[in-house]
Structure 1
Amino acid sequence: MTAPPVPSTPEHAATDAIATVIIVNYNGAHMLPGCLDGLAAQTMPAGSFRTVVVDNASADPSRDLITEGYPEVELLTSYVNRGFAGGNNVALRRTRTKYSVLLNNDAIPEPTWLENLLKPLEADTTGELVATSSKIVFMPRFVQVEVKTEAFLPGGLDPRELGARIYQVWVDGKDVTNKVLFEKATFGPEGHQHEQYRWSFPEGVLMVPMPRHADDREEHEVLITTMTRPHIPVTFSTARSTVTVVSTSDAGKPIDAVLAVMADEPRFDVVNNVGGIVFVDGSGADRGFQEVDHGQYEVAEEVFAACGNGIAMRTESARRIGFFDERYFMYYEDIDLSWRLRAQGGRIEYVPDAVLRHLHSASSTPWSPRWLFHVERNRLYTLTKDATGPRAVRGVGRFVGTTAKMALRMAVSTVRTRRRPALGQLKVRVKIMGSYSHQLPGLLVTRRQLRRSAVVGREELENWLVTSR
């Protein structure tokens, strides 16, 4: 049985504040100080906003940290982990301020963040602007490491052009593999949990994080563990340094490439999110993801969706649509919320001078089975609830068909090779289909309710869907 959250303090219902900033926390004691200290440094006048932390049954000292170190912060405790959607709803249902603002516990706001995020909402007299979305950049600064090697085709059912395997990346003796931005250089992770690797493109660019508090004048050592095909070189280079390694062994053993990052090496801010986009297959994505920030997103503009980290919304507009759908637990709940706000005639605006710095992969692990399960299942949820009928049927049908083909290929491979194939991805997809099938009747009921209440039709909203970034 779920125990109720700690009751809100009287100030939650009666206050001069115009906004409530809500932070959902799960075992984030090591990240909360940066987030809460950033809020305390905001340029908003004293008393103009409130801060509420919803603790999702943390097993670490998070609750003690808040009660002892941040007495001005209201703590709501859930004795089960409700996820991002349910955790935020705990606080949203109690919020009576004009605006509700959501902030991840692994994000640090710049001092003018909240003031700038609320300005467009305050200036809008029509009420049509229902939400604003922050400019989110990754927390550290990065150096660009180019990867170049000879392309090859693996053959069989794999159509990709591959380069070299990349196993790990170290900076000054610290493993930063999970903090590296691989989007522009590699395919997704493969292999077993304790020996994962990524195939590089024949040419690509890794974004390697520098120590967070490092002086830009310091020098650093970057070590990349890679494996090339025998006698095929792979080159790693920054603006100031280049190293080429080649395996002379036919046994296929990993080798280390060591780069010196010079004191004058250019460091870059990298974009995490400047508003959300949705592709024609229902996949959601961060606009501007992993682009070097050259100032290309410095103009405020309307976007299809807001990111759940750093969204400000009119509380009553969100209340009318029922806040987040808790069936999602985590991922895509912000896409679904934005889609439903738009169906009510609302607009969403990206605000370039409302800046957050976000720790990459601090709260979740991209491409893990848990991540894949929620991302793909919730994409199907969103298509079923929000998209036109033909698009929803195509999207769900394609997922089922792909899963069936994958199972057939594995069965044929097992018969031919008499070896058991890796079943991890297939197991996740089967689990997704089971969870989706269980929720389908309720999703269809919600779909009909959303159609009846919509001000803007599904066909019109789908004009926002894109085919590429």
Structure 2
Amino acid sequence: MDYNISIVIVNYNGKKYIDALFDSFLKQDLAELTYEIVFVDNNSTDDSISYLEDNYAARFNNLKIVNSKENLGFAGGNNLGVANSSGEYIVFLNNDTKVEPDWLLQLYECIRSHNAGIVTSKLIFFYDFVKFNVQTADKFEISNRVSINGHEYKLDPKFCKNMLVYDEHSVCFGHSEFYLPLLQGSVDYDITINAIDVNQAKATQATFSLGDAAFEIGNNILLTETDVASRKLKLLQNVGSGIDSNFNGYDMGFCEEDHGQYERVYEVETTCGAAMMMKKDVFEKVGGFDNNFFMYYEDTDLAFRVKRQGMKLLYCPTAVVRHIHTGSSKEWSPFFIFHVYRNRMLFILKNYSRKIFIKEYLKFIFSISINIISKQNKEIKTAKLNSLKSFMKLLPKYL
């Protein structure tokens, strides 16, 4: 059977994400639209395939499972998925997501009505959040280990503002903010935030507030389900992507509160591979994803090749996806650093002038040299050095 759309999902040890994603597929409002799901498993060890077969195969006659015998990464896994697809349009969707009921229909209508090369979704972080404000006469330290309904949650630096976030503690200043995820949805919450030194916190007259409600440090913060419903916020993860002046890829709108400020279709510099649509023949014409990227910057490289065909890259605000973000890899882990550092250089090599590449290549070598004599974690230093070595091995293929 031929479908309008093939949704390609690459999975690596993502069994824990299957329920949320596939339950959201069951709620899709599609009108006359037809689609298939091509689930590519990158040689997982967590029984992802058997779990998917046992729990969802009977409910999805449009499900195709492709079992790769090796981990091909995001780039190779998606290429394998497209090779096993039959849709006129391809959607690339991360496994650590869940989609809104009209998500697929909105993407489809947007790309057809605007004749775009790629259309990217509106990505928001998976959970809703509540925002805490910290007021203090002077700086003081709090523990990063927060108790939420009896479960420990560690503060995430990207959800903290005007704070120095270390491994086990954070330093708050005159006015700091941090967001806590509502991991259990809209229920009652019992939250405890502890100071490293309670006397210091009292001396600085430290208070926490959630909207107009103030709390003292170390005391339980009790929120009813009604409180949560009135105070919860959505945080944006991506409303299109860009390239900064140092040729680093970035997410537009990252960690901003969603107040409807990005509710129009507009052209973007590049697109996020976590949830985007394009025609299959366009994907094949530009050569698909470059397998050498493995993961990170492969979507940016693909988008630039599509732009060179004279086609637009668009953001669709009505195609909404909730996204865990770095669900298959830990942000700023050695694995993450290796691929981001190497692939940034590979992206520059392929998409910018030789003059720019040489300048950035020399800066890359210099930064790695400085890194070797720095006091950074040994694993991080090794990852950066290996990224350079790996890039140098790939370099002759592109010259």
Q: What is the TM-score normalised by the length of structure 1?
A: 0.76
Output one character per residue of 1:121-175: Cα deviation in whole Å (capped at 9) or x when no partner. Answer: 2224xx5x111010111122110112455778xxxxxxxxxx6465223311212
Instruction: Flag structure 1 segments of 5+ consecutive residues without an equivalent.
Output: 1-10, 153-162, 246-255, 411-420, 446-469
Give distance in 1, aligned partners of 2:123 and 2:194: 30
Distance 1:378 1:202, change over 3 A: farther
Shift of 1:269: 1.0
Structure 1 CA distance, aligned partners of 2:180 and 2:157? 5
Aligned to 2:125: 138
Within the candidate set 69, 90, 94, 1:100 is matched to: 90
Structure number with greater Rg is 1
Structure 2 portions without partners, runs of 5+: none
Match in the other structure for 1:116? 106
Q: How many correspondences in the alignment?
A: 389
Question: 1:377-388 maps to which residues of 2 (within 5 A)?
Answer: 377-388=342-353
> Does residue 26 of structure 2 align to residue 40 of structure 1?
yes
2:384 alignment partner in structure 1? 429
Aligned to 1:316: 281
Q: Distance in 2 between matches of 1:377 and 1:183?
A: 28
User: Which residue type is aligned with residue 276 of structure 1?
Assistant: S
In the alignment, is residue 206 of structure 1 matched against residue 169 of structure 2? no
Which residue of structure 2 lines up, in the alignment, with residue 281 of structure 1? 246
Residue 264 of structure 1: SS of its match in structure 2? helix
Question: Counterpart of 1:88?
Answer: 78
The one-letter code matched in structure 1 to 2:12 is Y
TM-score scaled by length of structure 2: 0.88
Residue aligning to 2:191:
222
Residues 1:83 and 1:271: Cα distance change in structure 2 (over 3 Å): same
Q: Distance in 2 between matches of 1:261 and 1:391?
A: 53
The CA RMSD over aligned residues, in Å, is 2.6
Question: More deviation in 172-181 or 429-438?
Answer: 172-181
Q: Does structure 1 residue 78 correspond to structure 2 residue 68?
A: yes
Partner of 2:16: 30
| More deviation, 59-68/324-333 | 59-68
Residue 139 of structure 1 contacts residue 212 of structure 1 at CA under 8 Å; is this kept in 2? no
Aligned equivalents of 1:379, 1:226: Cα separation in 2 = 40
Shift of 1:424: 3.5
Distance 1:203 1:45, change over 3 A: same
How does 1:292-303 map onto structure 2 within 5 Å?
Answer: 292-303=257-268
Return closer, same or farther for 1:344/1:148 CA change in 2, 3 Å cut-off: farther
Which deviations, in whole Å up to 9, do the C-alpha atoms of 1:334-383 show, x marking residues without a partner?
A: 11111111122111110111111122453332122212222222112111
The answer (yes or no) to whether the contact 1:22–1:54 under 8 Å persists in 2 is yes
Identical counterparts, % of pairs: 28
**Which residues of 2 match residues 35-434 of structure 1 at below 5 A?**
35-45=21-31, 48-71=34-57, 72=61, 73-124=63-114, 127=115, 129-148=116-135, 164=141, 166-177=143-154, 181-182=158-159, 184-186=161-163, 190-191=166-167, 196-197=168-169, 203-215=175-187, 218=188, 220-227=189-196, 231=200, 233=204, 235-243=207-215, 245=217, 258-261=220-223, 263-264=226-227, 266-410=231-375, 422-434=377-389
* Letter of the 2:261 counterpart: Q
* Rounded Cα–Cα distance in structure 1 between residues aligned with 2:105 and 2:330: 32
CA distance in 2: counterparts of 1:135 and 1:353, whole angstroms: 7
Which deviates more, 108-117 or 383-392? 383-392
**Residues 151/133 of structure 1: CA separation in 2 closer, same or farther (3 Å cut):** farther
CA deviations 1:45-101 (Å, max 9, x no partner) are 466111110011111222122333333211000011111111111011233422100
Is 1:20 equivalent to 2:10 in the alignment? no
Whose strand proportion is higher, 1 or 2? 2
Q: Report Cα offsets for 1:383-404 as digits up to 9, x if no partner.
A: 1211233332333322322232
Equivalent position amino acid for 1:224 in 2: I
